[in-house]
Structure 1
Amino acid sequence: MYAISAAPYAVLLGSCAILYFVIYPVVWYYRDPKGLRRFPNMTPLSGISAVPFMILAHTGARSTRLVELHKSHPVIRTGPTTLSYADPRAIKDIYGHNTKCTKDGSYVITSGSHFHLADVIDKPEHARKRKVLSSAYALKNLEGWEHKVADKTDRMIRHFDKCCTAPLKPGRLPEREDLNVDYREWTNYFTLDAIADIGLSEKLGFLDNGHDRVIARKTDGTTYECNFRECLYQNARKQSLLIWSYAWYPIINKISNIIPFYGRMGHLAREWDGIPVELAHRRLERYRAGEKLDDFFQALMEDKNGNPNNLEWGEIVAEVSIMMNAGSATTAIAMANVLYQLLKNPEVMKKLVDELDAALEDEESPVVPYDRVKHLPYLRACLDESLRLFPPTPHALPREVPAEGLYIMDDYIAGGVSVGMSALVAHRNEAQFPQADKYIPERWLGEEGKNLQPYFIAFSAGARGCIGRNISYLEQTVVLASMLRRYKFALPSPQWEIQRLETMNWLLEELPVKIWRRQLNAACV
């Protein structure tokens, strides 16, 4: 018997790896079949590999870095076949109603067994899905469900009333023990409870219980407990770190699980998968029992005439998943951001509170009715300016150029290239938003505000724009008006800064505040 040396095979394997991972990308870069070398690279290696963008993603400040880079370049090459845009003229070409761009491959590799409304790529299929859900998301229906939003606002008020402390003395900082409300946490409990009730007639009870423990279901029918927010956000975080090499993501995602840092996120991602399954299962049982409930799930199952939509179970679960994800995360981020901005800008806070007090002088309910405040111009301006300054989803939603290519800002881009514009980049453009780093709600008032709308992409734009923007504004408006009408808040100090970590959305750290009751007339309770 002769021993066979492994050395030649190791050399061959190493040579193949160098050829595939080093030489081929360099040759491809210099061949430049898609004509992208004319654009400046984000880093010297960005035209060759997606690794630099993956490294940038790990900083948690991806879009913040792009804001700085785009001050010098309107278009930047962030990967071998990806371009980032900053010029607002590109919004219509990339995201507009008549664009030929489609959602790119990132939506395919992160989808489950069935596409949902937010990740479906095929345009006719998207139109079918949107038709099924559009009636449920119509503004007239949302205002009819205002009582569900009011109920959740009332539950949050009950908790905050218990947390109230003595008024803060002028010139003093809050005592540590008085910083007893994490506003970020409680607004997230609010949005989760609200969307579960509106969408599924489900009472999660997070606001009542003060935690987000929830039952989830495996495919074999067994159940387990997990923390809703942790599972949801760590799932998104892992994707945001590793997804950028689309072709290699499925393999990288699996291999990464052996590394503790990623493995924990992978475990939580798998636990997340069981949450929408359990919620959809419980709601389906009620539907089969004959309950006719006024919620999104009913719209999934039947059209407005009561005819069955005959959706597959996987599609139902997918739609429940995106509803509980997108329907809670971004609005909670927006709610925390706007209070933070108001506390950092007391002159703006005073102007807004004055507007609310004038409009609600005779209002006795602790929960402010939406109809009383939905048309207040400064309230809406404060919300929009917060969404502009820190859009809940800063990530550049990527779109793929069709095979025949197209012109973006009169510049031909070859087919198969992924293009996008970060909302953070768009909103920090000084040409449209002077003093873009400052919180100035006045910019949204009057004709000037109307003229800014085409450059405002916090909810994306075009046919793929957020279908839930109306409900987000409803919740933000009612909660902010009710909170500022009833309470005063204080940060740990005027210099205190909230910590943000970018995934696809922002992950906000705690927002600790001192809270106390305002002194209003005796009729206001």
Structure 2
Amino acid sequence: MDAIAAAPRTILLGTCCLLYFVVYPIIVYFHDAKGLRKFPNMHPLSGISSIPFMIVAHGGARSTYLSQLHKKHAVIRTGPNTLSYADTRAIRDIYGHSTKCTKDALYALAAGSHFHLADVINKPDHARKRKVLSSAYALKNLEGWEHKVADTTARLIAHFDKCCTAPMSQERRIPDPADLKVDYRAWTNFFTIDAIADIGLSEKFGLLDAGHDRVIGRRTNGTTYQCNFRDCLDQTGRKQSLLIWPYEWYPLINKIANVIPFYGRMGKFATDWDGIPLELAHRRLERYRAGEQLDDFFQALMEDKNGKPNNLEWGEIVAEISIMMNAGSATTAIAMANVMYQLLKNPKVMKILVNELDAALGDDDDDDEPSQTVVVPYDRVKHLPYLRACLDESLRLAPPNTQSLSRETPPGGTDIMGDYVAGGVTVGISALVAHRIESVFPQADQFIPERWLGEEGKNLQPYFLAFSTGARGCIGRNISYLEQTVLLASVLRRYEFALPHPQWEIQRLETMNWLLGEMPVKVWKRKRPRI
């Protein structure tokens, strides 16, 4: 009898689900109140459901997939309320300083109890936050913190010195597997985590000394635990990248997914990640209350340059530390590994760059000196054109953050590329897609640093989205360039590297960032020609 009584309820529930998840979206699609049916669909069902985009996301290469589709269409409808663009005219309309578009609901869904600078949607609130943080990220401050980057670089070099093998002969192009002693991807990530922790919090993590990324997290009840920094950060972004696209359903989908082992494991990492910035903020606050006046990002969060308290809420402080440790470590590490990978795959480019470094630095140091004395000063190399061109070309070819930086059109709608788009529509351009536009970047799939030199290079800057653009451009780009420049110049000055074999390819997985797999290399001391 109970089964019979339950049957009508089951039928009713099933009917409601059918109406809400299938019939209603179809009605909305054909009603087309926002006029989006005129745009070509990514998939025949994209105008009705976000499921096709979620399936593409699970393949780990959604922006690469979109890039291929955009060769035929400048605008593609990727979801019921989402448009993807691949035209340089749209960059100004969507991200320019005068745009009426705002960050969309994705940022609110991914935020914690408080917004940080990168995910805050409200424009006045963003202006307030940027004013507080701009002094901390100012270039003059960063160059004052160069000694922290130099110390981190010296510790990485000390490890590489221990891993050096005999030079590879000119005839041999494939190193002995036993000589592949360094995972360049992992160690550059240890570098960026150590560097940003010191710059931001005067925290000596010591990952380069320990050779692993085990750190301490804090629960809200005050207890602590150990976890792996990179796993927590990477898997948090991965889960979001797979499930977040139907914005209105994401809170429910996210909870349901936690009972599925594949997603539940990622959810556990996300919970562990939340405790890392909480523990770091707790430790740094204790030092601040003890009267330590430290030259770091946290000090700028607490007080302005005149010593006046900023009176930020505790949740806001933790949120800013979270994004600093996130963006300040992950994307720069990916960029560091990418540029070395591209240089090793393009030996002619490597030779030009090394010659530029040798000409600029002369015989000032000795390759047999200890690691502490061979860190290249930023001031000596920051203006080298070919070095900067290599960094920018690597960021163009493989931007660490490939996702479309989504924006929402204003309530009254707006014109994008001269075409009216109704209000409340998510629009965006993936950096990977923008950087593959052949009319702007000829031979877009090739690593050609020369494109960034001279006036031609200056003319390309408006179309360079590795750090986003406009008023919401990445405030930490100067930190990234400082770290990338000093590290790359220092290691190329002292070492030579080799991949496992000339045809070797690095593995990539697109989450919220474009993650890299292991990058084993052979390292040996370089014998420099005397100038």
What TM-score, normalized by structure 1, do the two folds share? 0.98
In the TM superposition, what are the counterparts of 1:340-489 in structure 2 within 5 Å? 340-364=341-365, 365-489=373-497
The residue identity in structure 1 corresponding to 2:253 is I
Q: Deviations over 1:18-51 (max 9, x none)?
A: 1111111011000001000000000000000000
Deviation at 1:170, TM superposition (A): 2.0
Q: 2:513, 2:438 → 1: CA distance?
A: 23
| 2:9 is the counterpart of 1:9 | yes
For residue 2 of structure 1, report the CA deviation from its aligned partner.
8.7
* Residues in 2 aligned to 1:2 and 1:179: alpha-carbon distance in whole angstroms: 66
Q: Matched residues in 1 for 2:345 and 2:527: separation?
A: 22
Q: How does 1:123-138 map to 2 (within 5 A)?
A: 123-138=123-138
Structure 1 portions without partners, runs of 5+: none
CA distance in 2, matches of 1:391, 1:363: 34
Q: How many residues align?
A: 523
Q: Distance in 1 between matches of 2:63 and 2:364?
A: 42
Q: Helix, strand or coil: the match of 1:407?
A: strand
Q: In structure 1, how many angstroms separate the alpha carbons of the residues matched to 2:460 and 2:527? A: 37
Tell me whether 1:240 sits opposite 2:248 in the alignment.
no
Distance 1:50 1:367 in 2: 49
Q: Could you say what secondary structure the match of 1:119 adopts?
A: coil
Structure 1 position 363, deviation (Å): 2.4
CA RMSD of aligned residues (A): 1.1
Shift of 1:520: 2.8
Match for residue 221 of structure 1? 222
Q: CA deviation at 1:504?
A: 1.1
Partner SS, residue 258 of structure 1: coil
Task: Name the CA distance, whole Å, in 2 between partners of 1:12 and 1:130.
Answer: 51
1:119-176 deviation per Cα after TM superposition (whole angstroms, max 9, x unaligned): 0000000000000000010001100100000000000000000000001112321111
CA distance in 2, matches of 1:4, 1:496: 63
**Residue from 517, 524, 527 that aligns with 1:519:** 527
Paired with 1:37 and 1:156, the residues of 2 have a C-alpha distance of 54
Q: Which amino acid aligns with 1:519?
A: K
CA distance in 2, matches of 1:158, 1:12: 68
- The whole-number CA distance in structure 1 between the counterparts of 2:452 and 2:256 is 48
In structure 1, what residue type is equivalent to 2:64? T
What is the alpha-carbon distance in structure 2 between the residues aligned to residue 259 and residue 84 of structure 1?
31
Shift, 1:9, TM fit:
1.5
Shifted more, 364-373 versus 190-199: the winner is 364-373
Shift of 1:257: 0.8
- Residue 8 of structure 1 and its aligned partner are, at CA, apart by 1.6
Rounded to whole Å, the distance in 1 between the matches of 2:431 and 2:518 is 23
SS of aligned partner of 1:6: helix
State the distance in 2 between where 1:290 and 1:491 align.
49
Contact 2:363 2:530 in 1 (8 A): no
Equivalent residue runs for 1:28-67 within 5 Å: 28-67=28-67
User: Displacement, 1:482?
Assistant: 0.4
1:16 Cα deviation (Å)? 1.1
Misfit runs of 4+, over 3 Å: 1-4
Amino acid at match of 2:511: T
Instruction: Give 1:15 deviation, angstroms.
Output: 1.1
Shift of 1:216: 0.6
5 Å-filtered alignment, 1:262-341, equals 262-341=263-342
SS at match of 1:435: coil
Cross-structure match for 2:24: 24
* Mapping 1:144-155, distance limit 5 Å: 144-155=144-155
Output one character per residue of 1:274-320: Cα deviation in whole Å (capped at 9) or x when no partner. 00000000000000000010000001000111000111110000000
Kindly provide the CA deviation profile for residues 442-461 of structure 1, in whole angstroms up to 9, marking residues without a partner as x: 00001110111111111000
Partner of 1:503: 511
Partner of 2:78: 78
Distance 2:254 2:420 in 1: 34
CA distances 1:439-490 after superposition (whole Å, capped 9, x unpaired): 0000000111011111111100001000000110000000000010000000
CA distances 1:327-382 after superposition (whole Å, capped 9, x unpaired): 11110000000000000000000000000011111321310000100010000000
Aligned-partner residue type, residue 15 of structure 1 = T
Residue 101 of structure 2 is aligned to residue 97 of structure 1: no
Give the Cα separation in 1 of the matches to 2:246 and 2:3: 40
C-alpha distance 233-345 of structure 1, shift in aligned 2 (>3 A):
same
**Identical columns (%):** 77
Map Cα deviations across residues 374-397 of structure 1 (whole Å, 9 max, x no partner).
010000000000000001101001
Read off the aligned partner of 1:416 and give its amino acid letter. G
> C-alpha distance in 1, partners of 2:497/2:119?
39
2-structure distance, mates of 1:165, 1:51: 50
